[in-house]
Structure 1
Amino acid sequence: MISASVTETVQFYHLDPMNVVWHGNYVQFFENARCALLDQIDYNYPQMDASGYVWPVVDMRVKYVRPCTFGQNITITATLREYENRLKIDYLVSDSKTGEKLTKGFTIQVAVEKSSGEMLYRSPNFFIEKMEALV
């Protein structure tokens, strides 16, 4: 499957009172990696909008394995696992130097027709064809 990675340095504003990355900031880390992945397949949010579909996140899971700390360089990798009926994207946050797994998770997005607000139970045909040409 297709993957993309981004790197970040943990900043002071990412931390909670216990001096580790606040759990809610992982959502932003995932989003940054997801956008890199969507750019790679040329179907990021502007292209989604132009295609007449929106793809809301309908489910998200995060498993915290080890904490991220101030100044730590981390790599966030997003991997597209499913695309036929929904977008399922897996995420892995790891230490950039050691490769140690820090956090993992996934999101699920579904296609919704902008004009009607109707959720599709299958990804649009043009998107499936686009993905099959890439994989």
Structure 2
Amino acid sequence: MISASVSETIQFYHLDPMNVVWHGNYVQFFENARCALLDQIDYNYPQMDASGYVWPVVDMRVKYVRPCTFGQNITITATLREYENRLKIDYLISDTKTGQKLTKGFTIQVAVEKSSGEMLYRSPDFFIAKMEALV
């Protein structure tokens, strides 16, 4: 499947009172990697909008394995696992230097027709064809 990675250095503003990354910031890390992945397949948010579909996140899971700490360099990798009926993207956050797994998770997005607000139970045909040409 297709993957993309981004890097981040943990800053003071990412931390909670216990001096580890606040749990809600992991969603933003996932989003940064997801945008890199969507750029790679040439279907990021502007292309989604132009296609007449929006793809809201309808499910998300996060498994915190080890905390991220101030000054730590992390790599966030997003991998597209499913695309026929929904977008399922897996995420892995690891320490850039050691490769140690820190956090993992996934998101599920579904296609919604902008004009009607109707959710599709299958990804649009043009999107499936686009993905099959890439994989």
Question: CA RMSD of the aligned region, Å?
Answer: 0.1
> For 1:113 and 1:29, how far apart are their aligned partners in 2?
27
How far apart are residue 76 of structure 1 and its match? Answer: 0.1
SS in structure 2 at match of 1:75? strand
Separation (CA, whole Å) in 2 of partners of 1:125 and 1:64: 36
Cα distance between partner residues in 1 of 2:17 and 2:85: 41
1:123 pairs with 2:123: yes
- Per the TM alignment, residue 101 of structure 1 is displaced from its structure 2 partner at its CA by 0.1
Q: Secondary structure at the match of 2:98?
A: coil
CA-CA distance at 1:87 after TM superposition = 0.1
CA distance in 2, matches of 1:12, 1:126: 43
How do 1:93-108 residues align onto structure 2 when only pairs under 5 Å count? 93-108=93-108
CA drift of 1:5 comes to 0.1
Give the C-alpha shift of residue 16 in structure 1. 0.2
Paired residues for 1:1-135 under 5 Å? 1-135=1-135
SS in 1 for 2:42: coil
**What percentage of aligned pairs have identical amino acids?**
95
CA distance in 2, matches of 1:36, 1:62: 19
Unaligned 5+ segments in structure 2 are: none
1:64 and 1:76 map into 2 onto residues whose CA distance is 13
Report the number of matched residues: 135
1: distance between equivalents of 2:20 and 2:96?
Answer: 17
Displacement of 1:12 = 0.2
Length-normalised TM-score, structure 1: 1.00
